[in-house]
Amino acid sequence: MPELPEVEVTRQSFAERIAGARITGVRLGKPLRWPLGCAPDALLALTVGEATRRGKYLWLPLSNGGLLMHLGMSGSLAFRETMIVHGLHDHFDLATTRGTLRLTDPRRFGAVVWSPGQNEGVAGKLLASLGLEPFDPAFDGDFLHAALRRRKVSVKQALLAGGIVVGAGNIYACEALFAAGIDPRLRGDKLSRPRSQRLAVAIRQTLARALALGGSTLRDFRDAHGLSGEFQHAACVYGREGLPCHVCGTPVRRIVQGQRSTFFCPNCQRR
């Protein structure tokens, strides 16, 4: 599943190149998670601005409203000057004077939705419930501590819900909790202020590292899953059930929390 770092690498791969282009054509494939929200022809001749990211959403501003895009479970976006004939899983093409932006999404949980503004309409509704960006200076130990004090679920599940901070998806939540030495089963409201501080730093560092890996390995972005694969090789606990912890040698454990696998070191991570 594309996570925040993959989405950010995707954004960086086309944001500057598409800015200033004029839309010349729109092609819709099979239905995506949500309908486009306007007639495809209504987008013709609109000018494209520079794409921004909020959580795992991309916002492509247009001279009238904008397009909110999500990669869902299996989506990837590619921007090419000359686009080859669309394949079975290509469900959205935005042709412009600079090239074509194409969404390829085999499972079709992704979406492209027109909205009058980022804070209005469908976009406003979808983005309103998101937590802080991990690199927002307001996301610090004090903020995390105060937010977790209202969560009676495990700290891992509180992170995964995305309402406190965005970007701590399953891999990154597991890795950040390992880096901070926190047992993922600990209840959110039991995490002390100093440990919240360590966790906030760990979340930011884990995501920064994933972004750096993506930036170095996916210069020509084609496969949205390449980064997860790359990061997984560098993971300390994620996907390493039964293998020795890099720090203490204790076998890494896997448990299920809220239907998602959690990997952790029972020795390095404490309640």
Residues with a known catalytic role: 2-3, 56, 260
Q: Give least dist CB 239 to Zn ion, A.
A: 16
Cβ–Cβ under 8 Å, residues 254 and 182: no
* CA dihedral of residues 14, 53, 199, 212 (deg, nearest 10): 10
Residue ranges in contact with Zn ion by CB under 5 A: 245, 247-248, 250, 265, 267-268
Nearest approach in angstroms of CB 262 to Zn ion is 15
**DSSP three-state, residue 222:** coil
Closer of 91 and 253 to Zn ion (Cβ): 253
> Whose Cβ is closer to Zn ion: residue 199's or residue 245's?
245
**What residue is closest to Zn ion based on CB?**
245
Nearer to Zn ion, 17 or 185 (CB): 185
In the chain, what is the straight-line distance between the N-terminal and C-terminal CA atoms, in Å? 29
Interatomic CA distance for residues 72 and 76, integer angstroms: 9
Tell me which DSSP letter residue 218 carries.
-
- Round to whole Å and give the CA distance between 110 and 27: 15
Report the nearest approach of Zn ion to the CB of residue 68 (Å): 41
* Cα–Cα dist 24/44, whole Å: 6
Instruction: Determine contact, residues 189/144, Cβ cutoff 8 Å.
Output: no
Residue with tokens 């819709």: 28
257 or 267: whose CB is closer to Zn ion?
A: 267
| Nearest Cα to Cα of residue 65 among 18, 22, 8, 123 | 123
Q: In this structure, are residues 98 and 20 in contact, taking their beta carbons and an 8 Å threshold?
A: yes
133: its two tokens: 């960006």
Which tokens belong to 139?
A: 């996301």
Backbone φ, ψ for residue 71 (5° rounding): -85, -5
For residue 179, the minimal CB distance to Zn ion (Å) is: 12
Q: Which is nearer to Zn ion, 77 or 202 (CB)?
A: 202
Q: How far is the CB of 167 from Zn ion (least distance, A)?
A: 24
